[in-house]
């Protein structure tokens, strides 16, 4: 028996419809790039069935549901035929398909998260499987097309909407909401977030390099190096200095050195080639 028919969830036909919507998107993607009939079928199957296939492979609970229930494969094949023969009509219904794609994404999130909880996995694995089930189809479609997956590039919310929906599902489950109504709330959440992102032009955030800012903060937060200051005792006998007629101030370092019993250094004369004098008299005059 198929996994999605065992889980207490929304009607099974909604899952087939979600596969068909994803298949139409994959077939249109292939038609715009000039793929042949095998390419259209392959991308329709990848986009429509890829999420459920990845979910069941990660769960490892038997044969994937897309292989045990032929209606999934038939839904993807029908979508491929629509994309192969009516690519121009589908391009004109782009807004309608975007709305259906948002609903399908919400349903895939609910199916992935509910399956994880059904098999006893924790909160984080449930969020992860909900995201993988929702974005897995588009991921495989772009990889088979030889392109960088759109869900991994900056753009309108896709993976972010799936992440929000998975968090909502797990949160409501922890609050004790019944699985059916939990899935309905999850589908509605993803649909609203996705449509608002398309309408308002919300894009997923890109990396922000904080290296320069952090370096600037630490550069201004450095502690200044410790520099000890040596205070020499100064001669306070200003009156004696005035009486002696000396031009050397009491605050002159030479006075402090004299108080310590040391001879002051000889002055260095700059501006001529004559040798430095041997001594300096008390009146400060140069000896020739």
DSSP one-letter string for 154-212:
SSBSSHHHHHHHHHHHHHHHHTT--HHHHHHHHHHHHHHHHHHHHHHT-B-------HH
The number of beta carbons lying within 10 Å of the beta carbon of residue 229 is: 4
pLDDT value, residue 213: 82
Q: What is the spatial distance between Cα 193 and Cα 162, in angstroms, rounded to a whole number?
A: 9
Domain boundaries, the chain: 7-200
pLDDT value, residue 20: 95
pLDDT value, residue 254: 53
Nearest to 166 by CA among 217, 115, 110, 211: 110
Low-confidence ranges of the chain (pLDDT < 50): 1, 5-6, 237-245, 248, 257, 269-272, 284-288
Structure tokens at 228: 């000890």
pLDDT value, residue 7: 55
Q: Please, are residues 103 and 187 in contact by the beta-carbon 8 Å criterion?
A: yes
């Amino acid at each position: 028996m198929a996994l999605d028919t065992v889980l207490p969830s929304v009607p099974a036909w909604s899952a087939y419809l979600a596969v068909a919507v994803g298949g139409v998107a994959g077939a249109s993607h292939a038609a715009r790039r000039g793929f042949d009939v095998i390419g259209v079928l392959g991308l329709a199957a990848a986009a429509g069935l890829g999420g459920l296939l990845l979910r069941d492979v990660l769960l490892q609970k038997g044969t994937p549901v897309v292989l045990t229930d032929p209606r999934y494969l038939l839904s993807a094949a029908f979508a491929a035929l629509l994309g192969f023969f009516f690519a121009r009509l589908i391009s004109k219904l782009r807004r309608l398909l975007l709305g259906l794609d948002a609903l399908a994404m919400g349903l895939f999130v609910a199916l992935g998260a509910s399956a994880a909880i059904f098999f006893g996995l924790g909160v984080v694995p449930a969020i992860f499987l909900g995201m993988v089930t929702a974005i897995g189809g588009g991921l495989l479609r772009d990889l088979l097309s030889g392109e960088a997956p759109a869900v991994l590039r900056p753009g309108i919310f896709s993976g972010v909407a799936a992440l929000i929906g998975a968090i909502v599902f797990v949160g409501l489950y922890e609050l004790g909401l019944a699985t059916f109504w939990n899935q309905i709330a999850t589908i509605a959440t993803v649909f609203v977030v996705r449509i608002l992102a398309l309408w308002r032009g919300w894009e997923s955030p890109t990396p922000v390099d904080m290296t320069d800012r952090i370096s600037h903060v630490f550069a201004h937060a450095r502690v200044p190096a410790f520099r000890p200051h040596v205070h020499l005792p100064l001669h306070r006998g200003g009156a004696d200095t005035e009486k002696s007629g000396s031009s050397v101030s009491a605050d002159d370092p030479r006075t402090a050195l004299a108080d310590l019993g040391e001879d002051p250094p000889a002055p260095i004369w700059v501006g001529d080639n004559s040798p430095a004098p041997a001594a300096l008299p008390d009146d400060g005059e140069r000896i020739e």
